[in-house]
Chains A and B, each alone.
Chain A
Amino acid sequence: MNEEHHVNGGQAVTEGRTEKQVLEELSAEERALLKRVLEIERAKLHLTAYDATDDLLAAVKEILP
């Protein structure tokens, strides 16, 4: 299975790679933003009419002021 690759947005993901590894390869800022983005999305999962753009943009600006 190791030779198999998933293609996602042009990035080949080798099977067997873990979520933890993905997180470790990120910089501190990237990790912080990723966590924040998922928090925001999860909190508003029930709101179909919700537009995340502003909240996410605010999160980016918070991390890179």
Chain B
Amino acid sequence: MRLQSITLTNFRQFADVQTFDLTSDSVRPVSLLFGANGAGKTTFLNAFTWALYGTMSDDVEQQDRMITDSIWRALPIGDSAEVAVEVRFDHEGRDYRVLRSAALRKESDQQGVFSPKVQLWTTKPDGSSETVGAPQETIHSILPRGVSRSFFFNGERIENLVKKGAYAEVQKDIKVLLDLEQVERAIAHLPKVDRKLTADLKKHGGDKASGIQEAIDVLDERETAAQEELKVLESDLATLTEERDSVTDLLRQHAESAPIQAERDAVGNELEEARSARDAAIAERALLVATRGFQAFTDTLSESTAAMAQSLYQKGALPAPLKREFVDQLLDDGSCICGTPLTEHSVPWEHVKDWRQRAGLQAVETAWQQLSGQIAPLSAARDELCDSLAALMKRIGAERDRVTRLEERKSELDGKLRDSRMEDVQALETNRMELDGRIGVKQQRIGAVKAELQTIAKEVDQKTKERSRAVVTDELATKARSRSDLVQSVKRALEDILAIREEDIRRRLDAELKAVFKSITHQNHVPTLSAGFELTLYKDVNGVQLPVPKSTGENQILSLSFVAAVSKLAREIRKERRAEGDSVEDAGTYPIVMDAAFGSLDQDYQEAVSRALAKMAPQLVVLVSKSQGLGKVVTELMPYVSHLGVIETHTTAPGSVSDDIELEGMSYPYIRAAESDHSELKVIK
């Protein structure tokens, strides 16, 4: 399927008739459309699914307001307005035009419910055109609804594709896309053909052959019953397995929360310790200031004291060269050191006594010496005080930071534990074991039924051989027998082909998925498609494969990789078509139309996804806003773009709302003030 164009008529924001050309080739497969929030990107995406399937995605609000509001408002009561979407496309050598439309009569301002009708026309290679009788069914055969979700999608929601449950439907539809469905249908239909043929054999085959045929019929009935039972069993098993997986998930969350709990405890203890270390440092600082704080103010004091003492010393005031105790001794002895007798009130006595006044006391000098000895170390002590204070301040700061950090971490962990809603572990474990038991019983039964089917098949084979040896005289019966043999062996061959195709497709899809995923992500995660076509993601930890809990971003990349892989494989498989004979040139080609394609991915991923998709999709329609699309996305995609457009928003909002978009060096209107709210598809190239 290759899109050629889309035409919208009064379709929600898109008033009147607006067309966008989408024809592209393998060199430039991309159509890029820019639009502001609310411009109608999601509407544009939904226009495709509405035209093809009559449905819009759940995220489209007010689904019953299909006709452009301004058109509806202006419509007189009693008149009718039309809403329509037409998509032109070609598929396997034929051109198609699908038109879904409805006319709605205005009864009130509210738009009523209407039933749109779908029409499909096809143009054959010879140019003749015809109406297709079963339009919806034909569209489903071109692109099944389930698969279409992989090709028309909202990037922000695409991760739903790989979520449990949703995938089962996708899985079913992939069978159509990858040519398994017709084989399955043939295998289901051929026994009915055989029954018709063998009815003739029973009627005309004579006793022996008829008897054998009756036995074969009984075996056939047993086979049908066993197959029915197998189907039921397998579906039960799937349900049980899903249930068990969700219980295991819950248990894993428990296991995940255990380390959080342990970390929170450790952080709690460390926080206590940090708080007391911080308080101790603060107390130490207080003590230091109280006991030695004065030293900080001795800066000028020591200098002035030294200067004061020096000047006293120089004046002879301090200390004296002569000790008073020495003079007193001379006066007591009554003799001078020169031998002169010192008689009281004599001239020498008076002279020596004068010296007594001028002599200093020993005690005073000792004090002075002590004092002068202390002035010098005072400055060193002051420096040391400063250093100690600085060290303490640093310690306090560090402890405060540690406390803050730990408080933050603890809050974070508290929150994590609070948010996980968990059932009791024991109850979960019991539940899991019980489910395991039930799964075991189902698996045993499945094994038994499969063995029974094998036995039946052998017996049928045996009987068929007996039948071929039995003497049949009637010509009709002989013919019926040969035909039945033919049908039987074709059915067996188809069963082989189905098994081969299933395995081949799974293996190739798996390889492709791995390659695409790896080209996008920088994480060492590996996606795997299991034997049951189930999608899982694991990482390799020292040779052990561990499942990875997928994040939204990861799921988006996984889904995009899956879409790209399916898209590529669908084309490849049809190119190498086998039993069905050759297929047409564009077989298995499907467009990818995506809104907000890059969802919440960061820039690196946006770039990698753009690159991967531009190369992998045979046709790509990308809807982006300025903020999503400019930059790396546009740089990656532009070389592949054949159509570039803007969904121009026209708004009645007051004030200066105009905005432009710059593309390839030119400026284009992006948002414009207008008399009615609507959007216009503007083609840039």
- Point out residues on A near B: beta carbons under 8 Å: 6-11, 13, 15, 17-20, 22-23, 25-26, 29-30, 33-35, 37-39, 41-42, 45-48, 52-53, 56-57, 60-61, 63-64
Contacts and interface: CB of A to CB of B under 8 A. Distances in A.
B495 interface: yes
Interface in B428-458: 450, 453-458
A31 to B, nearest CB: 9
Nearest to B184: A41
12 contacts: A7-B450, A8-B496, A9-B457, A17-B500, A19-B501, A33-B486, A41-B186, A42-B580, A46-B137, A53-B192, A56-B186, A57-B196
B212 interface: no
Contacts of A39: 580-581
Q: Which 7 A/B pairs are nearest by Cβ-Cβ distance?
A: A10-B457, A46-B141, A41-B182, A8-B495, A46-B137, A52-B189, A42-B182
A47 B192 contact: no
Contacts of B487: 33, 60
B47 interface: no
A63 B487 CA distance: 11
A58 B84 CA distance: 43
A33 B487 CA distance: 8
Contact of B137 (A6, A34, A47, A63): A47
B107 interface: no
Contact of A23 (B181, B189, B492, B578): B578
Nearest to A33: B490
Interface of B: 134, 137-142, 176, 181-183, 185-186, 189-190, 192-193, 196-197, 450, 453-458, 460-461, 479, 482-483, 486-487, 489-501, 503-504, 578-581
A9 B456 CA distance: 9
A11 B495 contact: yes
Nearest to A26: B493
Contact of A10 (B139, B458, B494, B498): B458
Nearest to B179: A42
A64 B483 contact: yes
B454 A7 contact: yes
Given A45-B182, A56-B193, A22 B486 contact: no
A48 to B, nearest CB: 7
A18 B193 CA distance: 27
A34 B479 CA distance: 19
B600 to A, nearest CB: 37
Contacts of A34: 490, 493-494, 579
